[in-house]
Structure 1
Amino acid sequence: MTGGFGSLFFGPGPAVRRPNGISRPVPPYEQRFVGFCLPVFRNVPDLTSCSAVELARRIRAREVSAVEVLEAHLDRIERQNPAVNAVVTLDAERARARANAADAALARDEVWGPLHGVPFTVKDQFSTAGLRTTYALPHYADFVPAADAPQVACLKEAGGVLMGKTNLPLAAYDWQCDHPNFGRANNPWALDCTPGGSSGGSAAALAAGLTPLELGADVAGSIRIPSHFCGVAGLRPTEDGPLRGIRPPDRPATVRHIAVAGPMARTVEDLQLEWAALCGADPAASAPATPSPDALRIAVTPELGGVPADTDTQRVLRDATTAWGAAGCEVKRRPAPFDVEDAFDTWARIQGFELTAGLPAPLRTPPLKQLVWQGYVRSKFGSLAGRMAKGASLGPRGYFRALDRRAALADGLDAFFDDWDLWVTPVAATPTFTHRPTGAARTLEGVSVPYALPIAPYNCPTAVLGHPILTLPAGRTPTGRPIGLQVHARHGADATLLAAGRRLEAVLGCDPAPASLAEAPRTDDSA
């Protein structure tokens, strides 16, 4: 979840409709023929199955053109997006112009950057110059920003080709992905299941092979949960200041803490490439050496917040840690390195205070403020609303005390990393679940539990400390639903975390190939 509740109280949004921009004219026959048949003629993998690193290399080597790569992805979007509803706005013509310019630049021996000619999409929460950005708010259904969000600008400056925007839930605040304008996104691995939220369209687009790179945002698992549910990799980076570019320009950015923007991809190597672009760095010069297994000390905590993970998640965690141990890592089970309940309450106090500050004036004072938190929000997120309501009732001194407590918790976690390189936990207590109304009960090992219980204790307390967290694809359920793990590291050690994560990923050997929707397993499970 990323964003605020303020937009939810301005009235209902428009009826569900097919988004403008998703339809496009059929490309010329020659482009379609080349884009579809090129892999056969050149005896190489389908371009939409290639990693971003491979695409960037092949474009620079002129083995394939940026136009060919773009057309392959646009063709896949046209054929497979209707099933997943991940891409909600296309910018095909400007993307074609950009790809042509990238090829022309290479012909002059000009390389724009590490993403030269590589297509990407971004969550429809990030401002994109000249391209519709709804910020997940119905009142901005046709809003076109004048400038890019800083993160989008970085990806473009690195040579990337923006293709379009991806789906997200209302107000970017849910662990599912159902938007009043765009409709519901589906999980490519199990279409009757959610891809997660709020960066659900981002993860679904990656898993379906519609894009090689994505940009998401996270305040309570919005990168981590979709990555886990869809079997892709995501980085919740070190928090380093207020997140800009995810709010309409006429609204104050009251969410000043915890929310971060981060890269999403199918492999950790691709995350490294995108992270370098977001940082404005040369990936070859800035990436630390990939640690060998025997250099990694890994602490593992199988359960957070008193909520045990289900059998499949426990099995995947056990198999992963066994494999890492066999590869030479020092792996030991340890309790959580901070008071999870304290961190959870600290997260809720900060979020509750900042979200309330963004509400319309009548909703910031009693009695309507109580109706917001104890009525609407409680109906969606259960006891989580009660925690956040305590933050909504804070005065400035209480809010600053919460920030002080957060700093103390973060210092404690950094002290833990004096003895350990990485800390591994589940991302959630379960893999993806079947679509349902927000707030509806779920099942955990056959027991009915509140909607937020399998997710919130694993994502909210870990977010408030501001440390980098990598979501690593680690395994699957017997029915094919992905399961990921959270890998945590020291504050500011994002590049080192990605380098270590790449080594852990190699040991696990998970297949990064996108889902084949014709073969996507379905489940009648209601978990």
Structure 2
Amino acid sequence: MPVAPGPVAPSSAETTETTESAESAVSAVSAAPAASAVSGQDEICLLDAVDLAARVRRGELSAREVVQAHLDRIERHNTAVNAIVTLDAEGALAAAAAADERQARGEELGPLHGLPIAFKDTHLTCGMRTTHGSPLFAEHVPHEDELLVQRIQDAGAIRIGKTNVPEFAAGSHTFNPVFGATRNPYDLTRSAGGSSGGGAAALAAGFQPLADGSDMGGSLRNPASFCNVVGLRPTPGRVPSHPTGNLWDTMGVAGPMGRTVADTALLLSVMAGPDPRVPISLDEPGASFRAPLARDIAGLRVAFAPDLGGRVPVDRDVRDVIERQARVFEDLGCVVTEDCPDLGGAEDVFRTLRAQEFHHGLGALLDSDRASLKSSLVWNIEEGRRLTGADLARARTGHARIHLAATAFFQRYDVLIAPVSQVTPFAVESEYPTDIDGEPQHTYLDWMRSAYFVTVLGSPALSVPAGFTSAGLPVGLQIVGPPRAERTVLGIGAAYEAATAHGRRRPSLP
């Protein structure tokens, strides 16, 4: 949920990297080289997080070596991509040295020991600025870590900085007046998606092995799809959020991204788990997600919804890629049937509840600093301001009906597969696509329906690389399971990933 930060604290002394214009040139795409064919620091930066963490624990690499390799890669390539917007190299290296000393003393090591991470710039980081992509908070320095930030660092990860976001995480294209736009590593003229676009681009570019994110209408899934990485929207309550202005919110969730499904599960394992301050948090310990994901999916009942039952237009290039994926599941022994849950009313449910959250979280800023907010944000807050009690009651009733229909649907099917996004990565200069195959998209939300209709189901939804268009643009497949079935979704995603290896294709950076 978008919530205005508290009072601005004095600025910290961390080093910042601001946006510089990148060349308007298409980045050539190449297959990822084998580890043996990659030398030195780049090899470190392209390792899977699970493998990298294991090498550090075995003493084959030090935390200092790992962090330095990623800092060097950021220095070489971030100007073109603009994924990392705040960087504390000195602090990261000091933390890495301390991590190495703990390991030398034989202390217990966390599952993310020695892995560098830059946190999403809407997640509170103690002593490091959290701008929310807004000039109103360009120097805002929180006095505490958000719960997920604390958990990730307690697991041994080393904070190196922050990743770029849209203004107050509103929209699925990452640009803001503080740092500018994040560019897609596979094509620097295109969007990296959003709102976790900085994190997804940083993953694809090899700036960090894991990334945190959040998702209300697709903010983990869309950038994962655009950047050929993996992103998971968990079941509400799987990753508790604190502090938050709405402890019972089921629309906005936090979740993990990685370059592989196993890496994504690794990060989920430290983000997930109950917290007594969050009433909807689920009781299952996060460590359960570190168990092996491998499974035989033969006989799985798969519902295939290439356009969500005819409810959303899908760009022809996306549809061409997605329709080929049904055959992959058939080849793996699954029973694939074209079907879709009943999503009638999902549009009203999502738009109403989203608008309520925007008004609740940001309404005071609209009154005090309207001129400092982007027009789409103003529109969404005002939509919330116009809501009545009857509007909210109708949305809640509709939400309950869709949830019950989805529960019945997942008794007939084990999983649903569908496109993550209805479009391919669009021009970085555009705020959002205004047309999909001749159908106008009137607001910054319209083109995201394939993601936010799934939000309303309350289900875990995994975005996993599904291939590329003829122009070399990534496309993601959305794997959706019953509520609380993250293990099922991750296991199926891992089997699909092993059969296709689309996520092994890496961008070539200038």
Matched, 1:273 2:273: no
Matched, 1:64 2:61: yes
Q: Is the 8 A contact 2:239 2:254 kept in 1?
A: no
Paired residue for 2:455, among 457, 460, 463?
Answer: 463
Q: Which residue of 2 aligns with 1:333?
A: 338
What secondary structure sits across from 1:405 in the alignment? helix
Summarize the Cα distance change of 1:146–1:330 in structure 2 as closer, same or farther, 3 Å threshold. Answer: same
Q: Is the 8 A contact 2:268 2:286 kept in 1?
A: no
Q: Is the 8 A contact 1:348 1:391 kept in 2?
A: no
Q: Is the 8 A contact 2:147 2:243 kept in 1?
A: no
Name structure 1 gaps, 5 residues minimum: 8-18, 24-37, 519-527
Matched, 1:506 2:476: no
Q: Is the 8 A contact 2:81 2:185 kept in 1?
A: yes
Q: Which residue of 2 aligns with 1:34?
A: none
What secondary structure sits across from 1:227 in the alignment? helix
State percent identity of aligned pairs: 36
**What pairs with 1:128-207 in structure 2 (closer than 5 Å)?**
128-207=125-204
Q: Is the 8 A contact 1:127 1:245 kept in 2?
A: no
Summarize the Cα distance change of 1:511–1:427 in structure 2 as closer, same or farther, 3 Å threshold. Answer: closer
Cα deviation for residue 218 of structure 1 reads: 0.8
Deviations 1:421-461 (A, max 9, x none): 1101111221101123425x534347765464762321222
Summarize the Cα distance change of 1:242–1:114 in structure 2 as closer, same or farther, 3 Å threshold. Answer: closer
What secondary structure sits across from 2:298 in the alignment? helix
Q: Which amino acid aligns with 1:481?
A: L
Deviations 1:60-91 (A, max 9, x none): 11111111111100000000000001000012
Matched, 1:121 2:113: no
Q: Is the 8 A contact 2:124 2:144 kept in 1?
A: yes
**What pairs with 1:290-301 in structure 2 (closer than 5 Å)?**
290-301=294-305
What secondary structure sits across from 2:329 in the alignment? helix
Summarize the Cα distance change of 1:193–1:390 in structure 2 as closer, same or farther, 3 Å threshold. Answer: closer
Summarize the Cα distance change of 1:358–1:279 in structure 2 as closer, same or farther, 3 Å threshold. Answer: closer
Distance 1:157 1:321 in 2: 40
Q: Which residue of 1 aligns with 2:217?
A: 220
Deviates more, 1:300-309 or 1:495-504: 300-309
Cα deviation for residue 378 of structure 1 reads: 9.3
**What pairs with 1:64-83 in structure 2 (closer than 5 Å)?**
64-83=61-80
Q: Which amino acid aligns with 2:315?
A: D
Distance 1:41 1:343 in 2: 47
Distance 2:104 2:487 in 1: 33
What secondary structure sits across from 1:228 in the alignment? helix
Q: Is the 8 A contact 2:63 2:96 kept in 1?
A: yes
Q: Which residue of 2 aligns with 1:10?
A: none
Cα deviation for residue 330 of structure 1 reads: 1.6
Q: Is the 8 A contact 2:73 2:206 kept in 1?
A: yes
Q: Which residue of 2 aligns with 1:26?
A: none
Distance 2:259 2:76 in 1: 20
Paired residue for 1:431, among 409, 419, 424?
Answer: 424
Q: Which amino acid aligns with 1:225?
A: N
Matched, 1:415 2:408: yes
* Aligned length in residues: 473
Paired residue for 1:476, among 464, 468, 475?
Answer: 468
Distance 2:64 2:207 in 1: 15
RMSD: 3.2
Deviations 1:401-437 (A, max 9, x none): 4223312311221221112111011112211011234
Summarize the Cα distance change of 1:87–1:286 in structure 2 as closer, same or farther, 3 Å threshold. Answer: closer
Distance 2:215 2:289 in 1: 28
Paired residue for 1:21, among 16, 21, 34?
Answer: 16
Q: Is the 8 A contact 1:221 1:459 kept in 2?
A: yes
Summarize the Cα distance change of 1:246–1:202 in structure 2 as closer, same or farther, 3 Å threshold. Answer: farther
Matched, 1:403 2:389: no
Name structure 2 gaps, 5 residues minimum: 6-13, 19-34, 274-284
What secondary structure sits across from 1:464 in the alignment? helix
**What pairs with 1:482-521 in structure 2 (closer than 5 Å)?**
482-518=474-510
Summarize the Cα distance change of 1:120–1:390 in structure 2 as closer, same or farther, 3 Å threshold. Answer: closer
Q: Which residue of 2 aligns with 1:35?
A: none
Q: Which residue of 1 aligns with 2:237?
A: 240
Matched, 1:349 2:341: no
Q: Is the 8 A contact 1:428 1:454 kept in 2?
A: no
Distance 1:222 1:416 in 2: 25
Q: Is the 8 A contact 1:255 1:355 kept in 2?
A: no
Q: Which residue of 2 aligns with 1:322?
A: 327
Distance 1:61 1:321 in 2: 40
Q: Which amino acid aligns with 1:201?
A: G
Q: Which amino acid aligns with 1:128?
A: T
- TM-score, with normalisation over the residues of structure 2? 0.84
Summarize the Cα distance change of 1:362–1:190 in structure 2 as closer, same or farther, 3 Å threshold. Answer: closer
Q: Is the 8 A contact 1:235 1:468 kept in 2?
A: yes
Summarize the Cα distance change of 1:43–1:128 in structure 2 as closer, same or farther, 3 Å threshold. Answer: closer
Deviations 1:281-308 (A, max 9, x none): 5757753653202042211101036333
What secondary structure sits across from 2:202 in the alignment? helix
Distance 1:41 1:196 in 2: 28
Distance 2:483 2:248 in 1: 21
Distance 1:401 1:241 in 2: 26
- TM-score, with normalisation over the residues of structure 1? 0.82
What secondary structure sits across from 2:92 in the alignment? helix
Summarize the Cα distance change of 1:437–1:513 in structure 2 as closer, same or farther, 3 Å threshold. Answer: closer
Summarize the Cα distance change of 1:40–1:224 in structure 2 as closer, same or farther, 3 Å threshold. Answer: closer
